[in-house]
């Protein structure tokens, strides 16, 4: 008997979908393949920037073939809004010793570049052997600090997106696709 997926009421808050669930699934597989080829025969340490990268990292990891370890780092630059507040706060609570390790830094989105450049600097200061970056989304037009990721899922226009790990005021992370909210949900007037 065919099962229908449970519907998520908050999908109705989206004005439009930018990246569908199917497109994400296909692109994540392709990225994992690319990473598998690049790190064949090498031990790898994945560092996920949480909370945003949680879902992307989980899906990516399940398709990665190298022997790997996982750790998380917390960064925050948004405080209940959609505009970044300058320098990000990086909470370095890494449990693993990363000295001499090849690292893959995973985040949901590369926007101004402030977060990933600060995190990368911190990882290199701890003597990582190498640091490459993988992001699901890249808003190139918003860059303030020069930063390029080695692995990019999708380039997207300058719009504030939610879903697949990305939140607005901690909501919408569980949406299976990536989209833009209707204006009234950003203004918080409902």
Looking at 31-39, 44-52, 54-62, 117-125, which segment touches Mg ion (CB under 5 A)?
A: 44-52
Query: Quick check: 163 binds Mg ion (CB under 5 A)?
Result: no
Q: What is the DSSP letter of 12?
A: G
- 107 part of the active site: no
Query: Quick check: 111 binds ligand 5GP (CB under 6 A)?
Result: yes
Query: Quick check: 161 binds ligand 5GP (CB under 6 A)?
Result: yes
**CB closer to ligand 5GP out of 36 and 78:** 78
Is 89 in contact with 75 (CB distance < 8 Å)? yes
Long-range contacts of 89-94 (CB under 8 A, 24+ apart): 90/115, 90/118, 90/119, 90/122, 92/122, 94/47, 94/126
Beta-carbon contacts of residue 182 (< 8 Å; ≥ 6 apart): 13, 14, 15
- The token duo for 2 is 């065919």
Helices 21-38 + 54-61 axis angle, to 10: 60
Is 162 in contact with 51 (CB distance < 8 Å)? no
**CB closer to ligand 5GP out of 67 and 81:** 81
User: Which of the following is catalytic: 107, 108, 111, 138?
Assistant: 111
Strands 14-19 and 44-50: unpaired
User: What is the per-residue binding string for ligand 5GP in 38-67, x denoting contact by CB under 6 A?
Assistant: -----------x--x---------------
Query: Quick check: 114 binds ligand 5GP (CB under 6 A)?
Result: yes
Residue of 72, 110, 119, 181 that binds ligand 5GP (CB under 6 A): 110
Query: Quick check: 10 binds ligand 5GP (CB under 6 A)?
Result: no
Give the span between the Cα atoms of 105 and 49, in whole angstroms.
7
Residue of 28, 39, 45, 52 that binds Mg ion (CB under 5 A): 52
Question: Under rule CB under 6 A, how many of the chain's residues touch ligand 5GP?
Answer: 21
Residues that bind ligand 5GP (CB under 6 A): 49, 52, 77-78, 84, 88, 107-115, 160-162, 166-168
So which residues are the catalytic ones?
A: 111
């Amino acid at each position: 008997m065919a099962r229908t997926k449970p519907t998520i009421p908050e999908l109705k808050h989206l004005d439009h979908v930018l990246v569908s669930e199917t497109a994400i699934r296909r692109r994540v597989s392709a990225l994992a393949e690319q990473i598998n080829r690049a790190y064949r025969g090498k031990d790898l340490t994945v560092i996920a920037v949480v909370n945003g990268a949680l879902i992307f990292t989980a899906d990516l990891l399940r398709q990665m073939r190298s022997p790997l370890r996982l750790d998380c780092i917390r960064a925050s630059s948004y405080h209940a809004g959609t505009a970044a507040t300058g320098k990000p706060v990086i909470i370095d609570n890494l449990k693993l010793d990363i000295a001499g390790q090849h690292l893959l830094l995973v985040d949901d989105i590369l926007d101004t570049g402030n977060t990933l450049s600060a995190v990368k600097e911190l990882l290199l200061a701890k003597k990582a052997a190498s640091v490459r970056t993988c992001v699901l989304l890249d808003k190139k037009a918003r860059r303030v600090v020069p930063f390029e990721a080695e692995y990019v899922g999708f380039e997207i226009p300058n719009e504030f997106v939610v879903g697949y790990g990305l939140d607005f005021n901690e909501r919408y992370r569980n949406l299976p696709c990536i989209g833009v909210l209707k204006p009234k949900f950003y203004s918080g007037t409902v």
